[in-house]
Amino acid sequence: MESKEETAGAGEASLEGLPSALVATVMTKLDIASICSLASTSSAFRSCGRHILSFLPSFNLLDTAPSGDMLRPLLPPNPYLTTLKLDCSRLDDSAIAFLLKPSLQDLSLHNCADFSGRLLSEIGNRCKDLRSLYLGSVAEKRGRAIHISDLEELLSGCSHLEALILMFDVSLFLRHNFARVWASASEKLSSLEIGYISSVTVTELLSPNLGSHLPSNPVQPSILPSIQKLCLNVDYITDAMIGTISKGLVFLTHLDLQDAPLIEPRVTFDLTNAGLQQINQLGRLKHLSLVRSQEFLITYFRRVNDLGLLLMADKCANMESICLGGFCRVTDTGFKTILHSCTRLYKLKVTHGTHLTDLVFHDISATSLTLTHVSLRRCNLLTNHAVLSLASNKELKILDLRDCRSLGDEALLAIGTLPRLKILLLDGSDITDAGLLHLRASVISSLYALSLRGCKRLTDKCITALFNGCCVLELRELDLSNLPNLSDNGVLLLAKSRIPFFELRMRQCPLVGDTAVMALASMLIDEAKHGSSLRLLDLYNCGGITALAFRWLKKPYFPRLKWLGVTGNVNRDMVDALARSRPFLHVACHGEELGADPYDTSDGLYTHDYDDVDEFEQWLLEADIDSDFEDMGDAENNDEMVA
């Protein structure tokens, strides 16, 4: 009988003997993290991985934030690289030289707080063929700045740009030059998203002649004439801005506006019925989102009532998606008009619908609507009867009923008849452990994400009600936060279910402690796969977490973990030590929510594309990057110096 060593050696030899063309073909199907993980297993794979990086067309590393030294060898000269997506949390202007390739067509750089405006100008100078650009948080770190000339070089240099997303505050630019600069933007630009811009600037930008090179011509076309999708966060949504957008952007099909007033707006800086009447004058809109955020002030669209929605509905027959947030004076009459006028509607989202009741959905089964996405967050007058009516839409994939506090087990009975449901959010509802049994028949097998946050009547028995006896499940995201009666025993039952969760949130659970962490760390997913599959674990303000739990949060436990929420002020030293030992782990200790809003379904069904990349962090931290990688980085630098 062969020894284990002989068997292992034979396995390694067989891998080394595989044709390089075959290995390369397989590796080109993997993402960057998986390529590097595989490259760390043998010299043959490492050589092949090194070669692949010089002609790979796509480089996506958003799940890890590498430093410049770690990233440089992974981005050698590559004339075939067209797509680059990175988390730039640990990068600055010094990375520009090896990040920006002339061949790029799709560039997404997130968390660029440590870059200056030079990033924009260099993109315009180096990446002439860009079609799509995402820039997040540029120059948000103190001491960094962006000048209007940087934006001008970006817009004039990228003459083929079709989609532009600037997720930062562009109000920092000089207002009197802003429109002029945008006059040089690509005529092909069809999609524009901006993290923050003032409504006055938007109005000036899109008003005829203001941005024109020839202001004396009285019939100059609007700037950005080809825009079809416009998404803006502004200070105030106003009638003037709505009117300018509707008149200036004649091909618009997707309009998404959100404001967050610092003070209660005056009538001249607010949305009224007259403004709603101007929306969709040409009838091209397919998606409309108007949301008043309460981030800074408890405020609503107080100058809009049912008449405004009646006037808007006359022009919205072809609308497919509508999102309305903060319309506190609109009643059932207005909302019902939307449902009965928009016969093609498949997505409906209403937040803070303070006067929305069950009557809106009373006769929905008599309409021709086929709703697939419904969100009715903070509509406190809704009861079980509304859910019974909505359940007539058997095609529902997303149902968001967060903070509808009157919903109970009868609603779960209706939800249990929806065979295609993927996301179910029931935060703060009045459901019980027994009620969750209604999901067992068919719904639990199709769900991808389930949130039961703040459902105070749930206990450990909710785990048994949901998962006892279930076989293979699609469920990957579970939120059990703010459940006062959930204890370590419930988490033990969850671990025994062997469900390979990607995200588990249990913040504000006073009875959850060290035992729960140990159970999750020791979780057996299947007969051949040990170790937790969790990418995100939120334990903020869980009452029983001590130093013992922190030992289990270190390597090698939770090998795939990327986001961790804990209470920092109680365990400051342990939190700092954990962050040092796992630099690629995002440790949040101030109560902030982890990651982006996981249930923001504005652009369709929220999904993940996860791969097992547990070796990748180890490769970045421990592997000795060999001289060939370093030579490629040096060669690129030398080429730039010669140029």
Return the pLDDT at 623.
Answer: 46
Residues 409 and 90: their CA atoms lie apart, in Å, by 48
What is the residue whose two structure tokens read 């009923």?
A: 401
What are the distances in angstroms from CA 301 to CA 242, 293, 304, 326, 330? 14, 10, 6, 6, 9
258 φψ region: left (φ > 0), alpha (ψ -120 to 50), beta (else): beta
Q: How many CB atoms lie within 10 A of CB 631?
A: 12
Residues 12 and 4: their CA atoms lie apart, in Å, by 12
Return the pLDDT at 597.
Answer: 53
Percent of the chain with pLDDT over 70: 86
Q: For residues 506-538, b (16+ Cβ closer than 10 Å) or e, as one string? A: bbbbebbbbbbbbbbbebeeeeeeebbbbbbbb
Return the pLDDT at 218.
Answer: 42
Question: What SS3 state is found at 529?
Answer: strand
Q: What is the average pLDDT value for the chain, to the nearest integer?
A: 86
Per-residue tokens: 116: 């200056």
CA of residue 101 relative to chain centroid, distance = 26
Name the least confident of 76-85, 416-425, 578-587.
578-587
DSSP per position, 130-144: -SEEEEESTT-STT-
Residues 567 and 385: their CA atoms lie apart, in Å, by 40
Tens digits of per-residue pLDDT, 148-199? Answer: 999 999 999 999 999 999 999 998 887 778 888 999 999 999 999 999 999 9
Q: What is the pTM of this model?
A: 0.86
Tens digits of per-residue pLDDT, 337-368? Answer: 999 999 999 999 999 999 999 999 999 988 88
Q: How many CB atoms lie within 10 A of CB 471?
A: 5
Tens digits of per-residue pLDDT, 514-559? Answer: 999 999 998 876 555 556 889 999 999 999 998 899 889 888 888 8
Between residues 64 and 91, the one the model is more confident about: 91
Q: Are 495 and 533 in contact (CB under 8 A)?
A: no
* DSSP letter, residue 7: H
Return the pLDDT at 38.
Answer: 75
Listed in order, strand segments (DSSP E) in 244-346 are 254-259, 287-292, 321-325
Question: What SS3 state is found at 400?
Answer: strand
Alpha helices (H) in 301-392, listed in sequence order: 306-313, 332-341, 384-390
Dihedral of alpha carbons 568, 506, 553, 619, sign:
negative
Grade residue 639 by pLDDT with cuts at 50, 70 and 90: very low
* DSSP letter, residue 40: T
Residues 557 and 548: their CA atoms lie apart, in Å, by 13
Q: What is the dihedral of CA 195, 196, 200, 205, to 10 degrees?
A: -30
For 213, residues 6+ apart whose C-beta sits below 8 A from its C-beta are 183
Name the least confident of 175-184, 289-298, 474-483.
175-184
Residues 284 and 407: their CA atoms lie apart, in Å, by 37
* DSSP percent split of the chain into helix, strand, coil, nearest 5: 35, 15, 50
Residues 326 and 289: their CA atoms lie apart, in Å, by 11
* DSSP letter, residue 487: B
Beta strands at 449-451 and 477-479: parallel, antiparallel or unpaired: parallel
Between residues 9 and 131, the one the model is more confident about: 131
Is 143 a residue whose pLDDT tops 50?
yes
Residues 84 and 101: their CA atoms lie apart, in Å, by 9
Closest CA to 236 of 289, 200, 279, 195: 200
Return the pLDDT at 522.
Answer: 87
* DSSP letter, residue 259: E
Grade residue 627 by pLDDT with cuts at 50, 70 and 90: very low
Residues 75 and 330: their CA atoms lie apart, in Å, by 54
Residues 533 and 99: their CA atoms lie apart, in Å, by 31
Per-residue tokens: 26: 């397989």
Q: Are 251 and 284 in contact (CB under 8 A)?
A: yes
What domains sit in the chain, N to C, each tagged with a CATH number?
20-54 (no CATH), 57-189 (3.80.10), 194-207+224-355 (3.80.10.10)
| Mean pLDDT of the region 570-581 | 81
Is 638 a residue whose pLDDT tops 50?
no
Tens digits of per-residue pLDDT, 221-243? Answer: 568 889 999 999 999 999 999 99
